[in-house]
Amino acid sequence: MELYRSHVLVCEGTGCHCSGSAEVIETFKEELKKNQLENEIKVVSTGCFGLCEIGPIVIVYPEGAFYSGVKKEDVPEIVSEHLLKGRLVKRLLYHDSISDSDVVKSLDEVEFYKKQKRVTLRNCGVINPEKIEEYIAFDGYRALGKALTEMTPLEVIEVVKKSGLRGRGGAGFPTGRKWEFAHNAPGDKKYVCCNADEGDPGAFMDRSILEGDPHSVLEAMAIAGYAIGADQGYIYIRAEYPIAVKRLTIAIQQARELGLLGKNIFGTGFNFDIELRLGAGAFVCGEETALMSSIEGKRGEPRPRPPFPALKGVFGKPTLLNNVETYANIPQIILNGPEWFASIGTEKSKGTKVFALGGKINNTGLVEIAMGTTLREIIYEIGGGIPGGKKFKAAQTGGPSGGCIPAEHLDMPIDYDSLTEIGSMMGSGGMIVIDEDNCMVDIARFFLDFTVDESCGKCPPCRIGTKRMLEILERITQGKGTEEDIDNLETLAKNIKASALCGLGQTAPNPVLSTLRYFRDEYLAHVRDKKCPAGVCQALLQYTIVKELCTGCTLCSKVCPVGAISGERKQPFTIDQDKCIKCGACMEKCRFKAIEKR
């Protein structure tokens, strides 16, 4: 057994990897060897810690020193000062990880983590995801062993049902009931599929789980296979996730080598194996029937339902499909019992939920909270509030399929039913924070533009209807809209919601409907006053020079690309509104804040 006096954990999730964590790891190994410490200190490559914005992150145990923004140039100092002399490198410590008394806080005491409850993310940032032995050391594959040797398939399903786990991919359908349907479906061949085609803008929950703890998903899929009577699993993952694909490939191979996938698992006669299927990045392939068509090698288009996948899915056989986060809960539920899981969360929304927190927020990253945590707690206590003390306007949840939660609902508990009630949805877990500088009409236009671009085109409501909605929104943001356009937009949105073929088309109007519901005054300002209250919609902007502040320095006129600014030196200048293209170059260049945007 190898024993070390210290462990240096370095995040190798996508965010930190892009910031240079691979170089940090190599430099640590070089410096440790140079100082003859390679047999005393272990460098561990881990998954995401959650605080993505401040990466690369390095945590040194047993002290628990939390270093952020570490560059390869900083490594020699950490080795010489901390690892050799026992002195903290204070300039690199995360600002919330050390108190006034210079006593390092544990990770759980840091404000970002205090209100989190890590269940699906329990091993991310803790183990090396490319070492199956480390997963096993943290009770890995014990749940599979328990299910295969101590439980019947129906007992496994009953445990999942009692836990109250609902699908984390968007709709929130009870997981146990879905497993039961697949178990009861007649068929000589069944499949277990995992949806890892995470396509929402700003979402990276599933990617981080696969990068930091891939074996949890493999174990859960094997348990699901036993429960429904399947011997083959497929993980459908987008090719744009190279680190996740690499670690899944390694994990599958390691599990096969130890007999945890393949034939006669744990000597029980149960056979189950998993293959990867890479998607080409089509958003519509996040819809279950389109995903299954893609697995079959066909074009990723939704199919009419019924029949549902539990009866007729991949290759026409009964198929169980859950997303990454849903599966990641399963081993813990089997080991700890359904009552443990059901004790977390709210009456109808049990357990935890992982959110990718982004937008106008200080602590951008990945958070896992108990269902029922309020939006205010997420934004101001975990997220650290809005930069520059700006005013909170809304939070967009559920991506292109979701809606906006306005400030009046800041104290609303986040769960499936509460979000649906106010016109939003949980979705897969993206949460984008919007402040006073954002235009809600432009936000709706952005998400609809994404949906139009990603529509598979199979059904007219989605193919044609969303395009017409986008055209109306573009007219409004260009100052050419009318009040009739607003009424038509709302009618069209409701019709598409009621008639589109698949869930993605049916939810595409949600960002428009929710912004119309809570921010109709902004729409009216665009069509009545021809003004954008947030000053975002370029066609409605007007740049003017405040005479009292202008010194006549000529800088603004020199940077204007169309010669719209004129005047005499040391005298106030003016802007010709007919020539102005509203590029904002003059405002950026002015050192005296003499140019206003209205």
Same domain, 323 and 369: no
**409-421 b/e with 16+ CB inside 10 Å = b?**
bbebbbbbebbee
What are 409-422's pLDDT values in tens digits? 999 999 998 888 88
How many percent of the chain have pLDDT more than 70?
99
Single out the residue of 265, 271, 297, 295 nearest to residue 193, CA to CA: 295
Residues 488 and 573 in one domain: no
Q: What is the DSSP letter of 129?
A: T
DSSP three-state, residue 442:
helix
Q: In what order do the strands lie in the sheet with 6-11?
A: 41-46, 6-11, 58-61, 65-67
pLDDT tens per residue across span 399-408: 888 889 999 9
Query: How confident is the model at residue 102, as a pLDDT?
Result: 60
Residues 421 and 564 in one domain: no
Residue 84 tokens read as: 């050799």
261-275 pLDDT, tens digit each: 999 999 999 999 999
Q: How far apart are CA 238 and CA 196, in angstroms?
A: 7
Q: Are 264 and 327 within one domain?
A: yes
Of 383, 400, 435, which marks where a domain is finished? 435
395 shares its domain with 520: no
- Its domain, for residue 195, covers 132-341
Give the confidence band of 101 by pLDDT, cuts at 50, 70, 90: low
Pair (164, 232) in one structural domain: yes
pLDDT at 97: 61
Query: Does residue 149 form part of some domain?
Result: yes
Q: Sorting pLDDT into bands at 50, 70 and 90, what band is 283?
A: confident
Segments of 300-351 assigned E as strands: 319-323
**Of the given ranges (18-27, 39-48, 243-252, 425-434), which has the lowest mean pLDDT?**
425-434
Is the confidence at residue 155, as pLDDT, over 60? yes
- Which position has the token pair 């200080």? 362
pLDDT of residue 20: 93
Identify the pLDDT of residue 448.
94
**Domain final position from 286, 309, 341:** 341
Q: Residue 407 falls within a domain, yes or no?
A: yes
Answer whether the bond into residue 56 is a cis peptide, omega within 30°. yes
DSSP characters over 268-306: TTEEEEEEEEEE---GGGGSHHHHHHHHTTS------SS
Per-residue pLDDT, 421: 87
**Predicted local distance difference test score (pLDDT) of residue 171:** 77
Interval 298-315 mean pLDDT: 92
pLDDT score, position 108: 76
Instruction: State the pLDDT at residue 111.
Output: 85
- For residue 186, pLDDT over 90 is answered with yes
Q: Are 162 and 311 members of one domain?
A: yes
120 within domain boundaries: no
CATH of the domain at 25: 3.40.30.10
Residue type, 573: F
pLDDT band of residue 1 (cuts 50, 70, 90) is low
CATH number at 519 reads 1.20.1440.230
Secondary structure E strands in 280-418: 319-323, 352-359, 365-370, 392-397, 403-406
110 and 149 within one domain: no
Among candidate residues 375, 400, 435, the one where a domain is terminated: 435
> For residue range 506-525, what is the model confidence (pLDDT) as tens digits?
999 999 999 999 999 999 99
Report yes or no on 358 lying in a domain.
Answer: yes
pLDDT by residue (tens digit) across 310-337? 999 999 999 999 999 999 999 999 999 9
| Structural element, H or E, at residue 488 | helix 483-499
Across residues 443-467, what is the average pLDDT?
93
Please provide the average confidence, as pLDDT, over all residues in the chain.
93
Q: How far is CA 483 from CA 392, 479, 495, in A?
A: 27, 12, 19
Q: Does residue 346 lie within any of the structural domains? A: no
Over range 383-396, report the average pLDDT: 93
520 and 564 belong to one structural domain: no
Query: What total of structural domains would you count in the chain?
Result: 5
Q: Is residue 125 part of a domain?
A: no
Q: Which residues of 553-588 are buried (b: 16+ CB within 10 A; e: fewer)?
A: bebbbeebeeebbebeeeeebebeeeebeebebbbe
CATH number of the CATH domain containing 144: 3.40.50.11540
* Mean pLDDT computed over 352-380: 93
* Domain-located, residue 324: yes
What SS3 class is residue 400?
A: helix
| pLDDT at residue 498 tops 90 | yes
The confidence score (pLDDT) of residue 98 equals 60
104, 61 Cβ separation under 8 angstroms:
no
User: Are residues 149 and 266 located together in one domain of the fold?
Assistant: yes
User: Is pLDDT larger for residue 97 or for residue 277?
Assistant: 277
Domain match, 37 and 104 both: yes
Tell me which of 350-359, 394-403, 441-450, 481-490 is least confident: 394-403
Whether the predicted pLDDT of 99 surpasses 60: no
The reply to whether 48 and 22 lie within a common domain is: yes
- The CATH number of whichever domain residue 370 belongs to comes to 3.10.20.600
Per the domain annotation, does 534 fall within a domain?
A: no
